[in-house]
A and B are shown apart, each in its own frame.
Chain A
Amino acid sequence: MIRDTTLGAKLWAVAVWSLVGFFVINLLAMIATVVTSSFATRWLGTWLPLGWTTRWYSSAWSEFQLWDVLIVTFQVVGLVVLLSGALGVTAAYALARRDFPGKRLLVLLFLLPLLIPPITFGIPLATVLYRTGLAGTFWGVVVANLVPTVPFVILVMIPFIEQIDPKIEAAARVFGANTFKLFIHVLLPLLLPGILAALLLVLVRTIAMFELTFLVAGPTSQTLVVALYYAVFAAGVRAVQSIDAMAVVYMATTLVWLVIALRFVNPTQIVTRAKQQPAH
């Protein structure tokens, strides 16, 4: 790498770093505001609240029925992770190992739900789900959330499966493994790191997936992020601190999984599909 040592280059570096610093400080201050407010007794017109309390957590817990919401959230997320894993990994295996007519079209079909934002396809999808009576139910939320996650798993897994040498599978066949044994003893151990990474990313994304859940959820099938939206939307009815307490609960739920996910994946993978994109 080339490092410039002229005055102009140094000033430029300072300018760029202060930009990054400004962004990060504002970001952290924004998060700190929410956390501080959730522990505040009264906070109006001062730098810090007058006193500290934890009672907003118990009031938010009962007001927003957080226990029910959390259970629904984890059930939805758990099912989405399992189903998208089952559907996505099998399809990715076929796409990685076989060349067949129409494969490019199929890959395009799986790419589209990731390129089109959820709210654009969510509205026609919600319309169809309301006609079939699935919307408003628990399964409606699960099905809607699967639409972007199945393609996501497929596209993360294809490059991962492609880099596993097919000769290993052929060798297992030669030594007499049937399909089941091949899967359990050869494929699964090799694929496990990739599957784990893909499913953790699905998990983090599904907890924060607002639009699709919002469009199809009924009163009993709301996830945490949708409940938070309704609470902020109807702000004024309840104390700000109570809503902030709920926001902290939401942050904690998301961040626990983010920390776990970051042990296995690169942060950039949360944004892009994987590191497979070439530079041109």
Chain B
Amino acid sequence: MEAIASTAHVDHGPNLRQRLAAKGFDAVTLLVVPAAIFSLLLFVYPFAFGFILSFEPKSGGWLANYQRFFSDSYFYDTIANTLGLSVPVTLLNLLLAVPVSFRVRLMRRQRLLTTILVLPITLGTVLVAEGLLNYLGPQGWFNRTLITLGFIDQPLRLVHNYWGVFASLVITGFPFTFLLTLSYVTGIDPALEQAAATLGANAWQRFFHVYLPLLMPGFAITFCLSFVQAFSVFPSAVLLGEPAGSTRVISIAAYQAAFEEYDYSMASSVAMIMGFVQLAIVVLVLASRGLFYRGPASGAKG
């Protein structure tokens, strides 16, 4: 391939162009430059800019924003609020997704189910929030059905509180977690399970001693990706929750600092803290992945 770009000028020994081509830099490599510049300008630069800006507060010393965040419960409570929502939701989604994907993997026609489950993801959190406001409201079909069936006497209060946001995160988060889990579960060679069954392992033993150790790394990644989505919840926390109380999540704090107080320095600090907390949890989960088996498990299919 490298020969294509530099077939001329072979007689004078390697010139600069040929030496670069030998290292892999030639005209084709240059095609990556526009996207790289774009990414540097609009992703790396803003992040670096925000990081520096967070140390240049409107007033006070260079750490004033961070001191304000960690001394004002109106700010630091947002971390607990966000984790209190995102961790249980992610765990629940993962716990539900595992048995469902083990069942769905046996199905021949998975397409209909996956198509239905892709709906809430494509519709997005704003529409789900709007739909749930009606559906879970005191006059909505959900409460009405429960009353008709005799489970409750009074409508449950499910919107404008913690549970509204929780429900919206399950509606958009479960399909996401499920589709990721399914791709990991179907990637494991069924011959391994058959071998275990031949040797007399029952369903639980096959799951705990064959599948689970093999799937643990995949589950760790699924947990991280789902967690990061739930952690950055914004529209449904405003529309379906109590944005001033129990669902004042960290993204609301960042948004308010930027667009209600116009304090971009404080907003950047909150965004940096948000990124840091996310990263800390992701690193923690991925590090624990090393405790499990890593190696081939996909068989000789592809």
Which residue of A34, A112, A120, A125 contacts B274 across the interface (Cβ within 8 Å)?
A: A120
Name the distance in Å between B192's Cβ and chain A's nearest Cβ.
11
Decide yes or no whether B43 CB sits under 8 A from chain A: yes
Name the distance in Å between B299's Cβ and chain A's nearest Cβ.
9
Name the distance in Å between A20's Cβ and chain B's nearest Cβ.
6
Tell whether A120 pairs with B193 under 8 Å between CB atoms, given A113-B43, A151-B39: no
Write the chain B residue with the least CB distance to A231: B130
CA distance A243 to B203 in the complex (A): 50
Question: Secondary structure at chain A's binding surface: helix, strand, loop or mixed?
Answer: helix
Among B8-16, B58-66, B70-78, B183-191, the stretch that binds chain A is: B183-191
Write the chain A residue with the least CB distance to B203: A4
Using an 8 Å CB-CB cutoff, how does the interface string of B82-109 with A read, 1 for contact, 0 for none? 0000000000000010011001011000
Are B275's CB and A116's CB within 8 A? Answer: yes
Name the distance in Å between B107's Cβ and chain A's nearest Cβ.
10
Chain A residues with a Cβ closer than 8 Å to the other chain, count: 102
Among A50-58, A59-67, A94-102, the stretch that binds chain B is: A94-102
CA distance A181 to B184 in the complex (A): 41
Which residue of A95, A101, A118, A147 contacts B232 across the interface (Cβ within 8 Å)?
A: A118
CA distance A208 to B128 in the complex (A): 11
Chain B contacts for A204, CB-based, 8 A: 122
Are B39's CB and A98's CB within 8 A? Answer: no
Are A16's CB and B99's CB within 8 A? Answer: yes
Are B271's CB and A123's CB within 8 A? Answer: yes
Using an 8 Å CB-CB cutoff, how does the interface string of A138-173 with B read, 1 for contact, 0 for none? 000001101100110010000000000010011001
Tell whether A279 pairs with B298 under 8 Å between CB atoms, given A100-B23, A204-B122: yes
Which residue of A112, A123, A258, A278 contacts B50 across the interface (Cβ within 8 Å)?
A: A123
Are A2's CB and B121's CB within 8 A? Answer: no
Are A98's CB and B29's CB within 8 A? Answer: yes
Are A91's CB and B35's CB within 8 A? Answer: yes
Write the chain B residue with the least CB distance to A268: B179
Decide yes or no whether A127 CB sits under 8 A from chain B: yes
Are A1's CB and B123's CB within 8 A? Answer: no
Tell whether A119 pairs with B190 under 8 Å between CB atoms, given A16-B103, A279-B297: no
Name the distance in Å between A12's Cβ and chain B's nearest Cβ.
8
Chain A contacts for B120, CB-based, 8 A: 27
CA distance A278 to B215 in the complex (A): 11
Using an 8 Å CB-CB cutoff, how does the interface string of A21-33 with B read, 1 for contact, 0 for none? 0011011111101
Write the chain B residue with the least CB distance to A173: B4
Write the chain B residue with the least CB distance to A204: B122
Chain B contacts for A210, CB-based, 8 A: 124-126, 234-235
Are A258's CB and B231's CB within 8 A? Answer: no
Chain A contacts for B271, CB-based, 8 A: 120-121, 123-124
**B29, B39, B99, B296 — most chain A CB neighbours (10 Å):** B39
Chain A contacts for B25, CB-based, 8 A: 98, 100
Are B39's CB and A110's CB within 8 A? Answer: yes
Are A90's CB and B34's CB within 8 A? Answer: yes
Tell whether A19 pairs with B24 under 8 Å between CB atoms, given A24-B116, A267-B179: no
Which residue of B144, B278, B294 contacts A120 across the interface (Cβ within 8 Å)?
A: B278
Chain B contacts for A13, CB-based, 8 A: 103
Decide yes or no whether A180 CB sits under 8 A from chain B: no
Are B144's CB and A280's CB within 8 A? Answer: no
B: which residues have CB within 8 A of A? 1, 4, 23-26, 28-32, 34-36, 38-40, 42-47, 49-51, 53, 96, 99-100, 103, 105-106, 111, 113-135, 139-142, 144, 171, 174-176, 179-180, 182-184, 187-188, 190, 193-194, 197, 203, 206, 214, 217-218, 225, 228-229, 231-232, 234-235, 238-239, 251, 254-255, 258-259, 264, 267-268, 270-271, 274-275, 278, 294-298
7 A-B pairs with least C-beta separation: A124-B50, A279-B187, A100-B24, A117-B232, A91-B35, A208-B124, A94-B32
16 new A-B contacts at CB < 8 Å, known A123-B255, A268-B179: A2-B197, A26-B135, A31-B119, A34-B131, A91-B35, A99-B24, A116-B228, A117-B231, A150-B39, A215-B259, A233-B239, A247-B131, A258-B118, A266-B114, A267-B118, A280-B294
A: which residues have CB within 8 A of B? 1-4, 9, 12-13, 16-17, 19-20, 23-24, 26-31, 33-34, 37, 44-45, 47, 87-88, 90-91, 93-95, 97-101, 103, 106, 109-110, 112-113, 115-121, 123-128, 130, 143-144, 146-147, 150-151, 154, 166, 169-170, 173, 204, 208-211, 214-215, 225, 228-229, 232-233, 235, 240, 243-244, 247, 250-251, 254-255, 258, 262, 266-268, 270-272, 275, 277-280
